[in-house]
Copies of this chain bind each other. A is one copy, B any other.
Amino acid sequence: MDVIEESKSFADQFQVPTFTEDFDDMLKISDLDAVVICSPTDTHAEYTMRAARAGKHIFCEKPLDLSIHRVKEVLDVINESGVKLMIGFNRRFDPNFLKVRESVHAGNIGEAHILKITSRDPGPPPISYIKVSGGIFMDQAIHDFDMARYIMGKEVVEVFSKGAVKVDQAIGKAGDIDTALTTLTFEDGSMANIDNSRKAVYGYDQRLEVFGSGGMVKIENNYPDTHQFYGSKGVHGSLPLHFFLERYTKSYINEMAAFLNAIQNNSEIPVTGSDALSAMKIALAAKKSVIENRPVAIEEI
Protein backbone atom coordinates (compact mmCIF):
# COMPACT_ATOMS: atom_id res chain seq x y z
CA MET A 1 0.00 0.00 0.00
CA ASP A 2 1.59 3.32 -1.01
CA VAL A 3 1.21 6.53 1.00
CA ILE A 4 -1.80 7.70 -1.03
CA GLU A 5 -3.66 4.44 -0.53
CA GLU A 6 -2.74 4.44 3.14
CA SER A 7 -4.03 7.99 3.56
CA LYS A 8 -7.23 7.13 1.74
CA SER A 9 -7.78 4.09 3.95
CA PHE A 10 -7.18 6.24 7.03
CA ALA A 11 -9.67 8.84 5.75
CA ASP A 12 -12.23 6.11 5.17
CA GLN A 13 -11.75 4.61 8.62
CA PHE A 14 -12.43 7.94 10.29
CA GLN A 15 -15.16 8.89 7.82
CA VAL A 16 -13.35 12.01 6.63
CA PRO A 17 -15.90 13.58 4.20
CA THR A 18 -13.43 14.74 1.53
CA PHE A 19 -10.17 13.27 0.34
CA THR A 20 -7.88 15.04 -2.09
CA GLU A 21 -4.24 14.93 -3.12
CA ASP A 22 -4.28 18.56 -4.14
CA PHE A 23 -3.56 21.22 -1.51
CA ASP A 24 -5.45 23.96 -3.37
CA ASP A 25 -8.48 21.73 -3.86
CA MET A 26 -8.58 21.29 -0.12
CA LEU A 27 -8.47 25.06 0.41
CA LYS A 28 -11.58 25.38 -1.74
CA ILE A 29 -13.69 23.48 0.80
CA SER A 30 -15.90 26.30 2.03
CA ASP A 31 -16.63 24.96 5.54
CA LEU A 32 -12.98 24.19 6.21
CA ASP A 33 -11.75 26.51 8.97
CA ALA A 34 -8.18 25.43 9.47
CA VAL A 35 -5.37 23.29 8.06
CA VAL A 36 -2.61 21.29 9.71
CA ILE A 37 0.61 21.27 7.70
CA CYS A 38 2.90 18.28 8.34
CA SER A 39 4.49 18.05 4.89
CA PRO A 40 8.26 18.24 4.21
CA THR A 41 9.98 21.37 5.49
CA ASP A 42 10.62 22.91 2.06
CA THR A 43 6.84 23.07 1.43
CA HIS A 44 5.92 24.72 4.77
CA ALA A 45 6.31 28.31 3.69
CA GLU A 46 4.45 27.92 0.39
CA TYR A 47 1.53 25.95 1.87
CA THR A 48 1.24 28.28 4.83
CA MET A 49 1.02 31.35 2.58
CA ARG A 50 -1.53 29.72 0.27
CA ALA A 51 -3.68 28.66 3.22
CA ALA A 52 -3.46 32.12 4.73
CA ARG A 53 -4.49 33.75 1.46
CA ALA A 54 -7.45 31.35 1.34
CA GLY A 55 -8.45 32.57 4.79
CA LYS A 56 -7.73 29.30 6.61
CA HIS A 57 -6.17 29.17 10.07
CA ILE A 58 -2.91 27.21 10.10
CA PHE A 59 -1.07 24.81 12.32
CA CYS A 60 2.38 24.21 10.82
CA GLU A 61 5.12 21.89 12.02
CA LYS A 62 8.45 23.62 12.74
CA PRO A 63 10.41 25.05 11.06
CA LEU A 64 8.45 27.40 8.84
CA ASP A 65 11.49 27.55 6.58
CA LEU A 66 15.25 27.36 6.83
CA SER A 67 15.68 30.91 5.53
CA ILE A 68 14.96 33.75 7.90
CA HIS A 69 14.08 36.00 4.96
CA ARG A 70 11.45 33.53 3.79
CA VAL A 71 10.03 33.15 7.33
CA LYS A 72 9.58 36.90 7.56
CA GLU A 73 7.80 36.85 4.22
CA VAL A 74 5.41 34.19 5.53
CA LEU A 75 4.75 36.15 8.71
CA ASP A 76 3.92 39.22 6.63
CA VAL A 77 1.35 37.22 4.68
CA ILE A 78 -0.13 35.90 7.92
CA ASN A 79 -0.41 39.41 9.32
CA GLU A 80 -2.13 40.71 6.21
CA SER A 81 -4.54 37.80 5.99
CA GLY A 82 -5.64 37.98 9.60
CA VAL A 83 -5.65 34.21 10.03
CA LYS A 84 -4.09 32.50 13.03
CA LEU A 85 -0.80 30.62 12.68
CA MET A 86 0.40 28.15 15.28
CA ILE A 87 3.86 26.54 15.18
CA GLY A 88 4.40 22.96 16.34
CA PHE A 89 6.63 23.42 19.36
CA ASN A 90 4.82 20.54 20.98
CA ARG A 91 6.99 20.34 24.10
CA ARG A 92 5.31 23.44 25.48
CA PHE A 93 2.27 21.20 26.03
CA ASP A 94 4.08 18.40 27.85
CA PRO A 95 2.92 18.00 31.51
CA ASN A 96 6.50 18.14 32.82
CA PHE A 97 7.57 21.29 31.02
CA LEU A 98 4.21 22.88 31.76
CA LYS A 99 4.72 22.20 35.45
CA VAL A 100 8.17 23.83 35.39
CA ARG A 101 6.87 26.86 33.52
CA GLU A 102 3.98 27.16 35.98
CA SER A 103 6.33 26.85 38.94
CA VAL A 104 8.78 29.43 37.58
CA HIS A 105 6.05 31.87 36.65
CA ALA A 106 4.43 31.46 40.09
CA GLY A 107 7.70 32.77 41.51
CA ASN A 108 8.63 29.55 43.33
CA ILE A 109 12.30 29.84 42.44
CA GLY A 110 12.45 33.62 42.77
CA GLU A 111 14.52 35.25 40.04
CA ALA A 112 15.76 32.64 37.54
CA HIS A 113 19.56 32.61 37.24
CA ILE A 114 20.51 29.44 35.37
CA LEU A 115 18.55 27.15 33.07
CA LYS A 116 19.93 23.76 32.08
CA ILE A 117 18.50 21.60 29.34
CA THR A 118 19.56 18.09 28.38
CA SER A 119 18.28 17.06 24.97
CA ARG A 120 19.57 13.87 23.42
CA ASP A 121 17.98 11.65 20.80
CA PRO A 122 18.15 7.84 20.88
CA GLY A 123 19.71 7.81 17.42
CA PRO A 124 20.48 10.08 14.48
CA PRO A 125 18.15 10.46 11.49
CA PRO A 126 19.33 9.15 8.09
CA ILE A 127 22.15 11.11 6.47
CA SER A 128 19.75 12.04 3.66
CA TYR A 129 17.60 13.80 6.25
CA ILE A 130 20.61 15.39 7.97
CA LYS A 131 21.57 17.00 4.65
CA VAL A 132 18.27 18.87 4.28
CA SER A 133 17.58 19.38 7.99
CA GLY A 134 19.28 22.74 8.37
CA GLY A 135 21.69 21.18 10.87
CA ILE A 136 21.50 20.09 14.51
CA PHE A 137 20.61 23.58 15.78
CA MET A 138 17.79 24.19 13.32
CA ASP A 139 16.48 20.65 13.45
CA GLN A 140 16.98 19.30 16.98
CA ALA A 141 18.10 22.09 19.31
CA ILE A 142 15.46 24.51 18.04
CA HIS A 143 12.97 22.80 20.39
CA ASP A 144 15.32 23.55 23.27
CA PHE A 145 15.81 27.15 22.16
CA ASP A 146 12.04 27.60 22.14
CA MET A 147 11.81 25.91 25.54
CA ALA A 148 14.48 28.25 26.95
CA ARG A 149 12.43 31.29 25.91
CA TYR A 150 9.20 29.66 27.13
CA ILE A 151 10.51 28.71 30.58
CA MET A 152 12.49 31.89 31.23
CA GLY A 153 9.98 34.30 29.75
CA LYS A 154 12.90 36.45 28.58
CA GLU A 155 14.66 37.06 25.29
CA VAL A 156 18.06 35.63 24.41
CA VAL A 157 20.65 38.23 23.42
CA GLU A 158 23.78 36.16 22.84
CA VAL A 159 24.70 32.61 21.90
CA PHE A 160 27.92 30.62 22.26
CA SER A 161 28.02 27.06 20.94
CA LYS A 162 30.69 24.42 20.64
CA GLY A 163 30.14 21.48 18.37
CA ALA A 164 31.74 18.14 17.65
CA VAL A 165 31.28 15.10 15.48
CA LYS A 166 31.26 12.24 17.96
CA VAL A 167 28.39 9.98 16.91
CA ASP A 168 28.98 9.37 13.22
CA GLN A 169 31.69 10.71 10.89
CA ALA A 170 29.15 10.66 8.03
CA ILE A 171 27.29 13.46 9.83
CA GLY A 172 30.46 15.50 9.75
CA LYS A 173 30.92 14.76 6.08
CA ALA A 174 27.38 15.98 5.48
CA GLY A 175 28.47 19.31 6.95
CA ASP A 176 26.74 18.95 10.27
CA ILE A 177 27.75 18.18 13.88
CA ASP A 178 26.11 15.62 16.17
CA THR A 179 27.17 16.83 19.62
CA ALA A 180 26.80 20.38 20.88
CA LEU A 181 27.04 22.49 23.99
CA THR A 182 25.34 25.88 23.90
CA THR A 183 25.39 28.83 26.29
CA LEU A 184 22.55 31.32 25.97
CA THR A 185 22.67 34.72 27.62
CA PHE A 186 19.35 36.44 28.34
CA GLU A 187 18.62 40.14 28.34
CA ASP A 188 19.00 40.38 32.14
CA GLY A 189 22.29 38.48 32.30
CA SER A 190 20.76 35.16 33.34
CA MET A 191 22.05 32.17 31.43
CA ALA A 192 21.10 28.83 29.93
CA ASN A 193 23.11 25.77 29.05
CA ILE A 194 21.87 23.24 26.52
CA ASP A 195 23.59 20.01 25.58
CA ASN A 196 22.56 18.08 22.49
CA SER A 197 23.52 14.71 21.15
CA ARG A 198 22.15 12.78 18.21
CA LYS A 199 22.65 9.47 19.99
CA ALA A 200 22.01 8.36 23.55
CA VAL A 201 22.12 4.55 23.69
CA TYR A 202 19.71 4.57 26.64
CA GLY A 203 16.98 6.39 24.77
CA TYR A 204 15.44 9.83 24.60
CA ASP A 205 16.92 12.10 27.26
CA GLN A 206 14.80 15.15 27.91
CA ARG A 207 15.56 16.84 31.18
CA LEU A 208 15.52 20.42 32.39
CA GLU A 209 16.21 22.40 35.52
CA VAL A 210 15.92 26.06 36.42
CA PHE A 211 17.84 27.48 39.31
CA GLY A 212 17.06 30.80 40.91
CA SER A 213 17.28 32.99 43.97
CA GLY A 214 14.48 31.06 45.68
CA GLY A 215 15.30 27.48 44.74
CA MET A 216 15.35 25.07 41.84
CA VAL A 217 12.76 23.16 39.91
CA LYS A 218 13.68 20.24 37.72
CA ILE A 219 12.13 17.44 35.73
CA GLU A 220 13.37 13.96 35.01
CA ASN A 221 12.70 11.63 32.10
CA ASN A 222 9.51 9.59 31.77
CA TYR A 223 9.54 5.79 31.91
CA PRO A 224 7.26 3.06 30.57
CA ASP A 225 6.90 1.61 34.07
CA THR A 226 8.14 2.24 37.61
CA HIS A 227 9.59 -1.19 38.28
CA GLN A 228 12.93 -1.73 39.94
CA PHE A 229 14.69 -5.06 40.16
CA TYR A 230 17.07 -5.64 43.05
CA GLY A 231 19.38 -8.50 42.16
CA SER A 232 22.74 -9.64 43.44
CA LYS A 233 24.59 -7.21 41.13
CA GLY A 234 22.69 -4.00 41.71
CA VAL A 235 19.40 -2.23 41.28
CA HIS A 236 17.99 -2.13 37.76
CA GLY A 237 15.19 -0.11 36.20
CA SER A 238 13.64 0.38 32.78
CA LEU A 239 15.03 2.69 30.12
CA PRO A 240 13.31 6.05 29.56
CA LEU A 241 10.51 6.19 26.96
CA HIS A 242 12.32 5.60 23.69
CA PHE A 243 11.66 8.62 21.49
CA PHE A 244 9.35 11.56 20.86
CA LEU A 245 6.28 9.56 19.85
CA GLU A 246 6.26 7.76 23.21
CA ARG A 247 7.62 10.61 25.31
CA TYR A 248 5.45 13.39 23.91
CA THR A 249 2.18 11.55 23.23
CA LYS A 250 0.30 13.78 25.65
CA SER A 251 1.95 16.94 24.40
CA TYR A 252 0.83 16.23 20.81
CA ILE A 253 -2.75 15.71 21.96
CA ASN A 254 -2.70 18.81 24.16
CA GLU A 255 -1.09 20.82 21.38
CA MET A 256 -3.79 20.02 18.84
CA ALA A 257 -6.49 20.67 21.45
CA ALA A 258 -4.92 24.06 22.12
CA PHE A 259 -4.93 24.90 18.42
CA LEU A 260 -8.57 23.87 18.00
CA ASN A 261 -9.51 25.76 21.13
CA ALA A 262 -7.83 28.95 19.91
CA ILE A 263 -9.68 28.69 16.57
CA GLN A 264 -13.05 27.83 18.06
CA ASN A 265 -12.92 30.49 20.77
CA ASN A 266 -11.03 33.02 18.68
CA SER A 267 -8.51 33.24 21.50
CA GLU A 268 -4.77 33.82 21.45
CA ILE A 269 -2.54 31.29 19.70
CA PRO A 270 -0.11 29.78 22.25
CA VAL A 271 2.87 29.43 19.86
CA THR A 272 3.12 32.19 17.29
CA GLY A 273 5.09 32.81 14.14
CA SER A 274 7.09 35.31 16.12
CA ASP A 275 8.09 32.50 18.50
CA ALA A 276 9.23 30.50 15.49
CA LEU A 277 11.32 33.42 14.29
CA SER A 278 12.95 33.93 17.68
CA ALA A 279 13.93 30.27 18.05
CA MET A 280 15.25 30.26 14.52
CA LYS A 281 17.47 33.28 15.17
CA ILE A 282 19.01 31.49 18.14
CA ALA A 283 19.65 28.44 15.96
CA LEU A 284 21.33 30.55 13.29
CA ALA A 285 23.43 32.33 15.91
CA ALA A 286 24.46 28.95 17.36
CA LYS A 287 25.60 27.73 13.96
CA LYS A 288 27.54 30.94 13.33
CA SER A 289 29.09 30.67 16.82
CA VAL A 290 30.40 27.16 16.15
CA ILE A 291 31.88 28.22 12.82
CA GLU A 292 33.49 31.40 14.12
CA ASN A 293 34.25 30.11 17.65
CA ARG A 294 32.95 33.23 19.36
CA PRO A 295 29.79 34.39 21.12
CA VAL A 296 27.29 35.73 18.59
CA ALA A 297 24.77 38.44 19.43
CA ILE A 298 21.18 37.74 18.30
CA GLU A 299 21.06 41.19 16.74
CA GLU A 300 23.80 40.08 14.36
CA ILE A 301 21.32 37.64 12.80
Query: Residues of A with Cβ closer than 8 Å to B?
Result: 15, 95-96, 98-100, 103, 108-109, 111, 113-114, 116, 118, 120, 160, 162, 164-167, 179, 181, 183, 185, 189-191, 193, 195, 197, 199-202, 205, 211, 213-222, 224-239, 293-295
Chain B proximity of A184: nearest CB distance (Å) = 9
Report the separation of the CA atoms of residues A236 and B215 in the bound assembly, to the nearest whole angstrom. 11
Shortest beta-carbon distance from A12 to chain B in Å: 14
Q: Are B235 and A197 touching (Cβ within 8 A)?
A: no
Interchain CB contact under 8 A, A96 and B181: no
Q: Assess whether B185 is in contact with A113, with CB atoms less than 8 Å apart.
A: no
Are B181's CB and A231's CB within 8 A? Answer: no
Q: Which residues of B contact A164 (CB under 8 A)?
A: 113, 189-191
Tell me, in angstroms, the Cα distance from A185 to B180 when the chains sit together.
11
CA distance A109 to B205 in the complex (A): 15
A201 and B231 CA atoms in complex are apart in Å by: 6
Contacts of A195 on B, CB cut-off 8 Å?
Answer: 114, 116, 191, 193, 211
Given A114-B197, A165-B189, 12 extra CB contacts under 8 A: A96-B225, A103-B227, A108-B229, A116-B116, A162-B183, A195-B211, A202-B231, A218-B227, A218-B228, A230-B239, A233-B239, A235-B239
Which residue in B96, B118, B185 is a CB contact (below 8 Å) of A226? B96
* Residue pair A113, B179 in contact (C-beta under 8 Å): yes
Contact check, A235 vs B237: say whether CB atoms are below 8 A apart. Answer: yes
Please measure, in the bound complex, the distance between the C-alpha atom of A15 and the C-alpha atom of B221, giving whole angstroms: 39
Inter-chain contacts of A96 with B (CB < 8 A): 225-227
**Nearest CB on B from A156, distance (A):** 12
Would you give the shortest CB distance from A135 to chain B, in whole angstroms?
17
Are B218 and A99 closer than 8 Å at their CB atoms?
A: no
Chain B CB within 10 Å, residue with most, of A15, A215, A230, A237: A230
Known A-B contacts A195-B193, A226-B222; A213 and B167 likewise in contact (beta carbons under 8 Å): yes
CA gap between A221 and B233 in the complex, in Å: 16
The 9 closest A-B pairs by CB, nearest first: A202-B230, A215-B231, A164-B189, A220-B226, A201-B232, A99-B227, A216-B230, A99-B225, A235-B237
Give the chain B neighbours of A98 by CB distance below 8 A: 225
